[in-house]
Each structure stands twice: as structure tokens, then as C-alpha cells.
Amino acid sequence: MPPLSVLQPITHPIFTQHKLTVQVKRDDQIDGIISGNKWRKLKYNLLHAKSIGAKGVITFGGCFSNHIHACAFACQQQQLPVIGIIRGEDNHQDNYTLAWAKNWGMQLSFVDRKSYRLRHDEHYLQQLQQQYPDHLIIPEGGSNSLALTGVAEVINELNQQSEFDTLITPVGSGGTLAGLIVGDKSQHNLLGIAVLKQQDYLENEVKALLPSRSKNAHNWRIAHEFHRGGYAKFSPQDAEKIRNFSDIVGIGFEPVYSGKMILALLELIESGYFPAHHRIVLLHTGGLQGLAGMFERGLLNQDEWPSLPVPPVQ
């Protein structure tokens, strides 16, 4: 099958200075709504839901979640009712992300943070499944074994498109990196950039997701020093660097996921991490819809990001 997304070479003075080749796997362009890793994670989950005759889907996310946004639209396209269990208060239900989710038919169920922490608890999930016996439960971020199958296809596509040495991806829930490990079969260096401050938590999450045949892979690591203060945290200076990089290379990035990958790349290059003539691929995991929530909360000035227009809810 042909690749789902293009592999785009990019140029920047720092790449030239250090004699590096850098390309971006444009998964942000897979679909106009379900972009990046969310498309790949949801693909086999929703095919499975249809195959078992599920009457609907249940999933989890925060008030500005890329996963909630993508899952709502994907389920509408597949004519599957969907319930979103949302961390936070219902006063957020009209923000950009959740207004679109409701527009696409998602039923929102708001819970407090204490209740939301149960989203991985086996007893809680059993109770939820008993309450909705005809629904498929998809975890937060979409990260499960079915998601890994979809993400692994990135490697197959890249092997058709180019030779490379290192593949870099932002890491949130760990599912994308785990899928890449499964697909790569120890062919390349895989570098995850942690976007949240959790020490070894992410390594354990990735290892737990890996099937037995991939648990001994040693060609991957997670860099924890580039989280910029924690999940969804970034400084005005960080945002400015990301925007400048976007202007130079002609590709939009946001400060929570893909932008932290870019900042890490620049710092690693400056530190001499990559040898001359190294071939790097950046996986653009999408998530640009999250910019709208940053505009709404005054975290970013929309006028300063003119290449990333945000359409209104219909």
C-alpha cells in the first residue's frame, strides 16, 4: 500500500552547520480532522469495534484533548455512538475541542480528577463495561495493542520512502513510541521526547504495551529533559522558538507535543548529539487543533500564528 503521509525534507541553518539531513513524516496531513498519531491509533480500534458489532465506543480525555476531538469525528464517520469521559468541569463544554466533539455527536460525561484517576483501574473498567456491555472501551490517548498495529505502519511507509538513522517522536501516553518499536524491529534508533514530567513512568508504560516479541528491543530511549516544566507547560520564549522554526521550515507545530520535539531537536544538535551526516526523521503527530484552546485561554496570541487558522464550530 502507498504511504499515508509524505516524507518532507526540511532545511535550516543549524542542519547545514552540523551536516545533518532532516525530514518530517507529515502525519499531520493524513486527514483534515483526524491528524497524526490519532488516525493511526483509532484505525484498528474502530475496525475492531465494527467487527465485534459494538453499539458504541467509550473513551477518556481532558477538556482540550486531541484524542477526544479525533475520536468524536472518527466515530461519527463510522456511525458509532461515542461517550467521552472528560476530566474537568462542564463549564469547559463549549470550548473549541469539546464544542466540536458535541457537534460530531459525542456524549460528554464530566468527572472530577479523583474519579478520572480510575481510568486504568481494572475494577472500575469492569463496572463500566457491565454498565455498557455493548460498547468498546478505548483508553485515554487511544494507546492499546490495536493502536500499536496502526502506528507500526509508519515504519513500513518510511522504509518505502527513505533511508534514515534516527526517528524522533513526542511521547505522551507511550502508545506511539511502542507502536514504532513494534514496527521497526530494531532497524533504526528511536528517540522519544517526553512531554510530561514523570521520570521512569513513561518507560514502564511503553514496556507494558509492547508484545513479548518486542520487549527485548534496545534501540529506543526516552529523553526526559525537554518537557519544559511539565505537561502543557511552556514559556513565551519556547513558543517563540517554535514559531520561528515553523516560519523557516514552512510547517506548523504546536507547543505541547510536536513543538517540544522541535525544541529538543535543536538543543540536541547544538550539544553535538548527532554525528555529521546523520539522517533524522521527525514524526509530526498532529495535534494542531490544540492551538485553539491555547488561543481561548490567552496562552498564545492567535494573530502571531497566522499560518494556523482555526475554523469556528459549525
Partners of 8 in the beta sheet? 24
Across the range 252-265, mean pLDDT stands at 95
Whether residue 31 is predicted with pLDDT greater than 70 in this model: the reply is: yes
CATH code at 37-142:
3.40.50.1100
**Tens digit of pLDDT for each residue in 211-223?**
999 999 999 999 9
**Tens digit of pLDDT for each residue in 195-251?**
988 777 899 999 999 999 999 999 999 999 988 878 878 999 999 999 999 999 999
Predicted confidence band at 27 (pLDDT cuts at 50, 70, 90)?
Answer: very high
Whether residue 278 is predicted with pLDDT greater than 70 in this model: the reply is: yes
In the prediction, which pLDDT does 309 show?
A: 52
Q: Domain residues of the chain, as ranges?
A: 7-33+145-304, 37-142
CATH code at 7-33+145-304:
3.40.50.1100
Show Cβ contacts of residue 87 under 8 Å, excluding neighbours closer than 6 positions: 60, 61, 62, 63, 111, 113, 116
Across the range 275-289, mean pLDDT stands at 96
The least confident of 14-18, 75-79, 132-136, 225-229 is 225-229
Same fold, 7-33+145-304 and 37-142: yes
In the prediction, which pLDDT does 312 show?
A: 56
Across the range 43-57, mean pLDDT stands at 96
CA angle 89/91/93 to nearest 5° reads: 95
Greater confidence, 298 or 59? Answer: 59
Q: How far is the CA of 111 from the CAs of 68, 127, 133, 296, 314, in angstroms?
A: 15, 16, 21, 22, 26
